[in-house]
Chains A and B, each alone.
Chain A
Amino acid sequence: MIIFKQVQKEGVKVVQAKDLDVKTLNLQADVVIVGSGAGGSVIAYEMAKAGRSVIVLEAGRYVPSASFKEDMMDSLKRIYQDVGVQTNTTGDLVVLQGACVGGSSVVNATICARAPDEVLNSWVTDHGLTDLTPDNLAPYYTKIEQYLHVHTNEAHEINSCAAKVVEGSKEMGWSWSPLSRNVKQCALTGHCLAGCPSDRKQSMLVTYLPWAAAEGADRFQVFSDTYVDQVLTRNGRAAAVEGRVIHPDTKEVVADIHVDAQVVILAAGAIQSPMLLQKSGLDGHSGLVGRNLSVNPVVTVLAKFPDPVYGWRGALTGVRVDEFDSPKVGGYTMESTLASPVQLLYQGEQGTGTDHLRFMEEYKYFAALVVTLHDNGNGYVHWDGTVRGGDKIIEWNLSREYFETFKKAIKDAARVFFAAGAEKVYLPTFQRLVATSVFNLDKTVDAIDFGAVGLYSLRMFGYHPQGTCQMGVDPYSSVVNAVGECHTVAGLFVADASIFPTDINVNPQMTVYAMANYIADHILKRANSYFWA
């Protein structure tokens, strides 16, 4: 007998707050997954394909790709966490995440990279994760790369901003390489961060989620606008989740939701997953839930060239300067990216009045390097207050050590641009600092004021929060075990970037996909232990 499985041509069937006319939802599934981003979608697909019933609960809205407007403000309102203003306690770091069906995979810059072998090997030797060797994870990476059309940028995907970076790197004799991206037939619009309306970005919204629906049919459901408040346990096993469906515009609670499940997967991201464990009283023995937060802080170094560059046109992310990737020579990465005008406003100190207007007039002459520093778990995210009435607290601050590393990185990024012929380089600080030649560069960068404790010195973003439910074999120094299962709660798994024991030194999405698939495989191999009904 031949069985055809048809993927819906566009969109995903999602139950939204506006669709509900009941006050209480009591549901059952083999697997309930909190979060529909990279990790949640991969597990959803693998479980559905294996014949399991799956319910995915997503706190964000459902916004079909057909309605993306290539307008950053519209996207910030509809598909970003906290309108793109999710900050640390001191307001000098913005942690950007997606909050929508498909998660951050919908709003990311599509950069794909495998975790370096030395990182995975350190997980083996330092954290006892003997299965997570480069050789063992390689098949997962290969599979994901194939499924998501991951390819290395070709010549037509190197835009003029990237070309300036290439020119400068060559002049400096520094190593550079084209980036790899999960994009199919890129239309070169440059609007990745606002969501891709033509479905060329292979986000979860147009891949794993519709695939899960095709595999699962009526055994698969996605609920958006659904905030899970707690994980419930029975006799030491995960038994259910409960939460609320909240209308995204009116903020009215439309319904309470309770889902009984035999396996519970938390894939809400490194900010939300640990807080859910905390709210549920499932902190385990280690006291490390929420700790070990790395954010990979990012600054943008902006250069003005004498001739127009139109650096926003073409593929958003072209090349990286990988000369300084290794912690031994810096521990930072530089990637070419120039996005829409509003993003310039977060880059540094853009002047006041006429000065500001003149700065914005220079937009077409700009190229930019996004400098990412690989930090090491000094942050802490936690929930403060009652389960439904509290607030999240993200504690992360710039240390002196990272400040000094950033200064070196900024100087290196500026040198790339001066080598390519830039007239001036705007520094990513809260002070108005502009280097006008390589000869005054060091002095200008050294004028960045660290102040007493590094507050409001550099204008930073964190694109890659990770590490807050770290994996390990010792329940007293990790939150989840070697297969992502909570040490103290059977059947409760975490499958997002929060399980990384250390910063992986590259963009994390590929490793999240790979690890989620690895965890799904483990669950399915031991199905008799997890699914008894």
Chain B
Amino acid sequence: MNENEMPGALKGLRSALTRRQLFKSGAMLGPLLALPVQVFAADADDEMPASIKSLSPLEYRVLNRLRVVLLPVQNFDLPSTTEVPVMANLDDLIGRLNAFPRELLRLGLRAFEYGSLFSFTRFSNKDNQDAYKQVESWQGGIFVQRGLMSDIKTLVTFAYWRDPRTWPLLEYDGPVTEKWGIKRLGNAPLPRDPTAYHASGDNSVAEQ
């Protein structure tokens, strides 16, 4: 059977499997290449707040650094990323992820933390300028790097912009139903059966 004869479902399966293997090899590339960094770099992780339940110490460090680098809100009319509890929001959101995306994230954050082979510095130990450069470098990197970087950035920025205190700058109205006094309609009345007698004006239908 050649490619053209293959049913769509089979073509997709074969090709998806190939990509899965490629992805796994790509995802592991970072940590593997950075193995010397892990060996030589200081491995002490700062303590996490006791309220953090689902992030590992490494994940907390990386995301906490990203919080500062991705959201330099101090020069904007925006609440800070501590006033908006970005790390608590991330902990909550990531704790709800299903096993598969959770594992992808774990791998991705680990790869990102140790991804700087030549500087021998973990991402979370870099100053703002170098940290920004690493983010941009990954964003413009090979497909696995840019994919992971985009997804991690989405998580961090989501944990910030979901908060209503960030919306005035955007002039976003947020929830409006209560503000505008919109009345609730309740459940729809039973559909009218043209062969039945109908009681008018209420949610009931009468049948004889």
Bind each other:
yes
Contact of A357 among B76, B173, B205 (CB under 8 A): B76
Q: Which of these, B13, B73, B182, contacts A189 with CB under 8 Å?
A: B182
Decide yes or no whether B34 CB sits under 8 A from chain A: no
Task: Annotate A350-383 by CB proximity to B: 1 below 8 A, 0 otherwise.
Answer: 1011101100110110000000000011111000
Is B135 an interface residue, CB under 8 A from the partner?
A: yes
Q: Is A453 an interface residue (CB 8 A)?
A: yes
Tell me the nearest residue of chain A to B97, going by C-beta: A85
Q: Which residues does chain A contribute within 8 Å of B173, judged by CB atoms?
A: 312-313
Complex: how many Å from CA A92 to CA B150? Answer: 10
Residue in A354, A376, A452 whose beta carbon sits within 8 Å of that of B8 in the complex:
A376
Question: Are A77 and B96 closer than 8 Å at their CB atoms?
Answer: yes
A residues contacting the other copy or chain, number (CB 8 A) = 95
Smallest CB–CB gap between A80 and chain B, Å?
10
A449 to B175, CA, bound (A): 38
Question: What per-residue 1/0 map shows which CB atoms of B128-153 lie under 8 Å from chain A?
Answer: 00001001100110111011001101
Instruction: Indicate if the CB atoms of A2 and B208 lie closer than 8 Å.
Output: yes
Partner of A341, one of B144, B161, B189, B203: B161
Q: Do residues A83 and B153 form an inter-chain contact, with CB atoms below 8 A? A: no
The 8 Å CB contact of A9, one of B10, B78, B186, B197, is B186
Answer yes or no: B188 CB below 8 A from chain A CBs.
yes
Q: Are A89 and B12 neighbours in the complex by a CB distance under 8 Å?
A: no
Q: Which residues in B have some Cβ–Cβ distance to A below 8 Å?
A: 7-13, 15-20, 22-23, 69-73, 75-76, 78, 93, 96-101, 104, 132, 135-136, 139-140, 142-144, 146-147, 150-151, 153-154, 157-158, 161-162, 166-167, 169-177, 180, 182-191, 197, 199, 203-208
* A-B CB contact pairs (8 Å), 26 listed: A4-B199, A9-B186, A82-B98, A87-B104, A91-B147, A146-B191, A149-B188, A187-B180, A206-B185, A293-B9, A340-B172, A349-B146, A353-B69, A353-B70, A353-B71, A357-B71, A357-B72, A363-B172, A364-B170, A364-B171, A378-B12, A395-B17, A396-B12, A452-B143, A453-B19, A455-B144
Given contacts A291-B7, A356-B153, A379-B12, 14 further A-B contacts (CB under 8 A): A7-B189, A11-B187, A70-B175, A185-B185, A189-B180, A189-B182, A207-B187, A211-B188, A341-B172, A353-B132, A357-B72, A363-B171, A364-B171, A454-B19
Q: Which 7 A-B pairs have the closest CB atoms?
A: A378-B12, A456-B147, A291-B9, A70-B175, A395-B16, A73-B162, A199-B185
